[in-house]
Structure 1
Amino acid sequence: MTASAAEKTDTLVVGAGQAGIAMSEHLSKLGVPHLVLERNRIADCWRTRRWDSLVANGPAWHDRLPGLEFDDVEPDAFAPKERIADYFEDYAKKIDAPIRTGVEVKRVERNVGRPGFTIETSEGVIEASRVVAATGPFQHPVIPPIAPKHEKIAQIHSAEYRNPEQLPEGGVLVVGAGSSGVQIADELRRAGKKVYLSVGPHNRPPRAYRGRDFCWWLGVLGEWDAEAMKPGTEHVTIAVSGAHGGNTVDFRELAHRGITLVGMTKSFDADKVTFQPDLVDNLKYGDENYLSLLDAADNFIADNGLDLPEEPEARDILSDPACVTAPLSELDLAEAGVTSIIWATGFKVDYGWLRPENALDEMGRPKHHRGVSSAPGIYFLGLPWLSHRGSSFIWGVWHDAKYIADQIGKQRKYLAYHQAAQDRASDEPDSVYPASGIQEASNLGAN
């Protein structure tokens, strides 16, 4: 398709998950012509890249967009993943989002000598003045290079895990104890598997405290609005779960129920895996985070005179199980009967389709401020810490989308002024003053 025959729109949004849908809503409110492209189905990752039993990690009153409530999930309950995917499809219909599914964006390039971008897609060429990358952070699963290279052990990323029946007979090593790793390890233990859980530095907030969910506490305490991570916490995960009605993640409790806790996974040598001697320190770090939130909540209640029930038992810490008092430094996988490894080790972004200069750094990561790229006309949405701690959460991305839409609206007004000024200039005569008037003014100046 030639450039002259290309479809045109003002703003192209790439991705129709929570970020793309929120972006569409705000662009529509501002009257910005736009198009949303999704290579699969709306909110497809919720359906195809999550395990079968997953529920939202936040309650239904919190983990949603402002314009639509769940009509079949209690406010304090946790919506199943399929219901969340359906919710986003319902929301897209509600706002009449101009979404095209089954269309992959292959390349975005800045036009030369004229404004805007040319976008190559699986369905043809589109030209747009602006592009919003709303593909989110979960694009490519990351398995670290220490992973053993032999085929004796079945290895999958948590993005590929679906249920315990998927794994071969035998024990499992789960590497990574954030929300995904903890929930998968617990499910495997409940299914009768022998489970080893590799635990790194983590935050573990209470699921609820004194009658309020931790999402509420982070809100009233201003934690969701934090604009940057605290120094040294870049690799600290958060261990929280809505599974089984929602319970505080307690690693000691998991160990008392049969999971063997180990430190961070260090290396593999044939069938032997070595662990860092940091398990006790990592659990202590999580305990301190947990107790600090209880302290902050108690202070908030006292300062504001809230009538919420006391909960002294929340400060009880279970005794250390044997795997903590005498932690393993290494494990022979064959001798332990471990036949599978699940890598709950996160994801990396992939913007290989985005070619404009200055949009990405040398590592392929977005260069931006609050989602506004250093490359004019390019925007990013849905990333962790895009503008604040809540940026990658469903409700948080909605607020980030509003900010970006407002920036797009401002740019459109500036360009509209430029066009109007050009139109006015083209309608004016060649000279504002008659020739005699110019000569008279010149003579006056000479005097």
Structure 2
Amino acid sequence: MSLDQLEIDTVVVGAGQAGVAMSEHLTALKIPHVVLEKNRIAEAWRTRRWDSLVANGPCWHDRFPNMEFDADPDSFVHHDQVAEYFEKYAKQFNAPIYTNTEVKKVSSNRQTAGFTVETSQGTIKAQRVVVATGPFQKAIIPAIAPKQESLYQIHSDQYKNPQQLPAGAVLVVGSGSSGVQIADELNRAGKKVYLSVGAHERPPRIYRQRDNVWWLGVLGGWDSSKTDNGPLKGLAVSGAHGGHSIDFRSLALEGITLLGMTKQFDKDTVYFQNDLQKSLQEGDQAYLAFLDAADAYVQRTGIDLPEEPEARKILKDTECIQQPILTLNLAQAGIGSIIWASGFGYDYSWLDVNAFDADAKPKHKLGVSSESGIYFVGLPYLYGRGSSFIWGVWHDAKRIAGHIDIQRHYLEYQDKHHRELHMTKEKTA
């Protein structure tokens, strides 16, 4: 099917996990649509991950309902297997995905309903557009980053392996999953690593013989919403090495030097907030509260899961925690590389629609935007905590597809009523 001058009900932009899920539900509802992807299906899982990365959740959970991974259900599959999974999944229902098709602009039609979608393969007219480009659109390196050309600086989005970095120590900025896993990998490879730690959560990998994804499920954690507009806390969790809990004190005992939040750079000197102990203590409190909630669930339900008192032991503070480093001379510390695990921002420069707030962030309710016919799926906390996870995006997409179906039925009623009225007038004429 040629895309140029195509007229169709719904255009889905992006063929990652959100786009594939969206297509499945639109297909089930017999809603005509196409999915446009500028690269390949699940491209981010193929090329925007470091070499050794595995999924952060076990594959019995981090999947779509209608197909299992070809792997041990309790294993954490390699990112290449995740990409292959989505490609295979899309083939199950012959998803109408057009790869190597970049969406250059989406604009509201002024004289008629719907939208004009300009692509590298032609122009499409659509009644609805679902933005499924995900939360990792634009890697952000803060403005405080030093300007010295002698420093090798990359975002975690560009990191591949330890061999990629020049000789010398490494400063990793960020304590979410990417930051802690990259710091750990570099430390295991023999690099001297400094890790700048901010506010974070560190749920147990396994507690009382159940993975944290199971606990989040039975405790209602996946449905929890974000009640403030502040930045997301780093989620320190890992599927590496068979899956293990992240403990910053353990990382320090293994040789990583922990630092507070990175404050500013002045030539060769970097300054840190005096908040390392506070961040670790707050992380401990949230961790122990997680265990408390799990214990209360076991007691309330009578489920047979063994106690695990060892999980509550907090390791002793190392020197870098007891006496936090507040200033560090990069040259004297031998730091030749900085990896910014500093998160991502949105890039909707191609969307010329009224669906954004004053800060250019999507303005929506559960993915239904402020402009009729524009939808978002795959964003963090779209519905709840699970929204940006593989299984969660599938359920969000189902809700959005249902909304589209309802709108189509309204329009079908309008068209049917108009035809019947016209026929009545003809008979009485």
Same topology, TM > 0.5: yes
Deviates more, 1:347-356 or 1:270-279: 347-356
Coordinate RMSD, CA, aligned: 1.3
1:177-196 → structure 2 map (5 Å cutoff): 177-196=175-194
Runs of 5+ consecutive residues of structure 1 not aligned to the other structure: 435-447
Task: Give CA-to-partner distance per residue, 1:82-124, whole Å, 9 cap, x none.
Answer: 0000000010001211000000000111112211111100011
The question of whether the paired residues in 2 share the 8 Å contact of 1:78 and 1:245 is answered with yes
* Residue in structure 1 matching 2:390, options 375, 379, 394: 394
Q: Secondary structure at the match of 1:224?
A: helix
> In structure 2, what is the Cα distance between the partners aligned to 1:112 and 1:157?
40
Give 1:230 shift.
4.7
1:102-251 → structure 2 map (5 Å cutoff): 102-226=100-224, 228-231=225-228, 234-251=231-248
Q: Structure 1 length as normaliser, TM-score? A: 0.94
Task: Give CA-to-partner distance per residue, 1:360-412, whole Å, 9 cap, x none.
Answer: 12322111000001100000000000011110000000110011000000000
Q: Secondary structure at the match of 2:159?
A: coil
Is residue 407 from structure 1 mapped to residue 403 from structure 2 by the alignment?
Answer: yes
Q: Which has the larger radius of gyration?
A: 1
Label 1:59 to 1:210 Cα distance change in 2 as closer, same or farther (>3 A).
same
Per the alignment, residue 428 of structure 1 pairs with 424
Would you say how many aligned residue pairs link Structure 1 and Structure 2? 427
Give 1:429 shift.
3.0
Q: Secondary structure at the match of 1:309?
A: coil
> In structure 2, what is the Cα distance between the partners aligned to 1:338 and 1:166?
15
> In structure 1, what is the Cα distance between the partners aligned to 2:418 and 2:144?
61
AA of the residue aligned to 2:288: L
Per the alignment, residue 49 of structure 2 pairs with 50
Per the alignment, residue 286 of structure 2 pairs with 289
AA of the residue aligned to 2:174: G
Task: Give CA-to-partner distance per residue, 1:320-368, whole Å, 9 cap, x none.
Answer: 0110011101100000000000000000011111112x21123221110
Give 1:233 shift.
6.3
Q: Secondary structure at the match of 1:391?
A: helix
> In structure 1, what is the Cα distance between the partners aligned to 2:21 and 2:228?
30
Per the alignment, residue 275 of structure 1 pairs with 272
Give 1:170 shift.
0.2
Identity %: 60
Give 1:231 shift.
4.5
Q: Secondary structure at the match of 1:247?
A: coil
Per the alignment, residue 10 of structure 1 pairs with 9
Per the alignment, residue 443 of structure 1 pairs with none
The question of whether the paired residues in 2 share the 8 Å contact of 1:55 and 1:243 is answered with yes
> In structure 2, what is the Cα distance between the partners aligned to 1:232 and 1:44?
30
AA of the residue aligned to 1:313: E
> In structure 1, what is the Cα distance between the partners aligned to 2:296 and 2:385?
22
The question of whether the paired residues in 2 share the 8 Å contact of 1:117 and 1:130 is answered with yes
Give 1:179 shift.
0.3
Is residue 261 from structure 1 mapped to residue 258 from structure 2 by the alignment?
Answer: yes
> In structure 2, what is the Cα distance between the partners aligned to 1:99 and 1:431?
46
Q: Secondary structure at the match of 1:428?
A: helix
Q: Secondary structure at the match of 2:58?
A: coil
Give 1:47 shift.
0.9
> In structure 1, what is the Cα distance between the partners aligned to 2:331 and 2:173?
17
* Residue in structure 1 matching 2:334, options 315, 337, 348: 337
AA of the residue aligned to 1:184: I
